[in-house]
Amino acid sequence: MGHAESLRVIGQSLEVAKVQVFELETDGPNYIVKTNFLTKAGEWILRYALGVQDTSEQTSSTVRRSARFTPADISRLDDQAQKQRTVTSADKPMPGRLSQVMRSVGDHLDGIEASAFSMSWTYDSVFVDYHSAEGQSETRTFTTEKLEQLGSRSRFRRLGRTRLNSTWPGTMRRE
């Protein structure tokens, strides 16, 4: 599974936990999310989604926590989400949702064949440090406007792939 699909799944989990400001980095095939803005309810949601059984108590209403998403976690969460989606919601993704915006950033990272990356997600921008396929380290800042453009391009490319794949008998599938 590429970065686009993995980040979409992680974004879905963060949406449910109501996390909007976070840091995310790759650790080999795993993705680690860190945030200072995780409520106890949000922490419980992420722990439940990831199957973590640690129930240690914290005294403050928000805590600094991290969550590790392994390829197995991402695949399982994606399967669960696919079972819950209806045809109408799958055909009309809401472009402003965190999961869709994260997918767009992932499409960009897949397009440049980023091998490793870290990102800081704020309310109005995303800062991404990545290593390109050539081994160069680069940094990009995506503003809200740039993320909207990136999302439009990503949806257009996916729509084109879906239509292309549906022209061959037996190959109709959604990507």
What the block records as the tokens of 17 is 């936990």
Q: Which residues pair with 62 in a beta bridge?
A: 39
The residues near 56 (Cβ < 8 Å, ≥ 6 apart) are: none
What pLDDT score does 136 carry? 86
Whether the Cβ atoms of residue 60 and residue 38 lie closer than 8 Å to each other: no
How far, in whole angstroms, is CA 87 from its chain's centroid? 21
* Confidence class for position 162, pLDDT limits 50, 70, 90: very low
What pLDDT score does 124 carry? 84
Residue spans per domain, the chain: 3-165
Q: What is the pLDDT of residues 102-122, one digit of tens each?
A: 998 999 899 889 989 999 999
**Residue 3 DSSP class:** H
- Which residue did the predictor score with more confidence, 77 or 166? 77
Neighbours of 119 (CB within 10 A): 21
What pLDDT score does 119 carry? 96
What pLDDT score does 81 carry? 85
Q: What is the pLDDT of residues 48-106, one digit of tens each?
A: 888 876 555 544 454 558 899 999 999 999 998 888 765 445 555 555 788 988 998 99
pTM of the predicted protein model? 0.77
- Which residue did the predictor score with more confidence, 59 or 28? 28
Closest C-alpha among 10, 13, 47, 15 to residue 25: 10
What pLDDT score does 115 carry? 85
Q: Which residues pair with 129 in a beta bridge?
A: 118, 139
**Residue 85 DSSP class:** -
Q: What is the pLDDT of residues 116-157, one digit of tens each?
A: 999 999 988 899 999 987 888 999 998 878 887 876 665 545
**Residue 168 DSSP class:** S
